[in-house]
Amino acid sequence: MIRSYSGSHQAGSPSEPRKRSRLWLYENIVDVLENDKGTDTIEVIMLHLPKNKEVRWNGSELKKMTNLKLLSIENAHFSRGPEHLPSSLRVPKWWGYPSPSLPPEFDPRRLDMLDLSKTCNILSKQLKIMNFESLSEMVLRGCTFIKQAPDIAIGCINLRILPHNFKLTSLEYLSLTKCSSLQCLPNILEEMKHVKNLDLSGTAIEEFPLSFRKLTGLKYLVLDKCKMLNKISTSILMLPKLKRLMAVQCGRYVNLILGKSEGQVRLSSSKSLRDVRLNYNDLAPASFPNVEFLVLTGNAFKVLPECISQCRFLKNLVLDNCKEL
């Protein structure tokens, strides 16, 4: 995506960087930023500084760049964060973003990509309430202190790509609700003891990576309307702290255990699992020996699954709209 915006040369006047549409040479970029030489001609800035260099600016220099579309900053230390980010911006890539917050007037609805990798002081609460309507990729690699990932689900139907690997050991909450183009989940590199809530409602995921067994702190898993889901692995059911599993209106003729419509195997689930909701799925439920609240609304089975007899602590069983019973 960055390549599609960046082009291949510094277009414009070779002698006056401020009149070019693309800036690549760090000397020119630093001159434009430190001396407030920005213009509406500049569309692309790609800055990679040598070590031990700092950009000393006021933070307001980007305001004049009303047509800036790509801002890529790596290996650069700034004396302060930006006071303004242009509304024209489509791809902000700023590793080690220097401020605890994004500019208050920044509108992210037209962003195609957001990369704030290696940022330690990022305010995930601020990102959580932002509206990413056009976002197709978000990268937060190396943001080790994030506890709540941005809620990028609000209208974010174009999001297709997450980082291939997750190493957010402090993460507590992740919502990807209504990211209807998202098909693949990342690989979990290390055990995540602190994650409690994972909401994948309305995504296009087909299965879980084996590494999801490392979500040892997960308590609440929501899979509502995951129409492409064809398998919920046994390792997910056996997560030691999982309390609630919701898989409402998932793919029809999906077998919860085997990932296919024919054949059943009786397997146990985590002892902590208390609340299971599998309405409108035609799912063949596994054995949930400690479940207290079981919702099987709208399922197409003709007799009650035998495993229900093993639910010794069952207090509530909901079978609304099971027309074949």
Q: Please give the chain's pLDDT, 325 residues, in tens.
A: 566 665 544 555 556 777 788 998 999 999 999 999 999 999 999 999 887 688 999 999 999 999 999 999 998 889 999 999 999 999 999 998 888 888 988 888 888 888 888 876 655 556 656 666 677 677 776 665 555 555 554 446 666 767 677 766 767 778 788 788 888 888 888 888 888 989 898 888 888 888 999 999 999 999 998 888 877 777 788 899 999 999 888 765 444 543 333 344 444 577 899 988 877 665 555 667 788 998 888 877 788 877 788 788 999 999 888 888 8
Please give the pLDDT value at position 29.
93
* Tens of pLDDT, residues 52-111: 688 999 999 999 999 999 999 998 889 999 999 999 999 999 998 888 888 988 888 888
Longest C-alpha distance within the chain, in Å? 81
Separation between Cα atoms, residue 298 and residue 194, nearest integer Å: 34
**pLDDT at residue 143, rounded to an integer:** 65
Q: How far apart are CA 92 and CA 113, in angstroms?
A: 7
Tokens linked to 215: 């979500």
- 197-199/244-246 β-pairing: unpaired
DSSP tag of 29: H
How many residues can be counted in the chain? 325
pLDDT of residue 259: 36
Under the phi-then-psi rule, with left for phi > 0, alpha for psi from -120 to 50, and beta for the rest, what region is 280?
left
Determine contact, residues 41/15, Cβ cutoff 8 Å: no
pLDDT on residue 310: 78
Give the pLDDT score at 19: 79
CA dist., res. 152 & res. 178, Å (int): 9
Instruction: Return the pLDDT at 101.
Output: 83
What is the model's pLDDT at position 15?
Answer: 61
Q: Cα-atom radius of gyration of the chain, to the nearest Å?
A: 24
Q: What is the pLDDT of residue 80?
A: 92
Q: What is the mean pLDDT of the chain?
A: 79
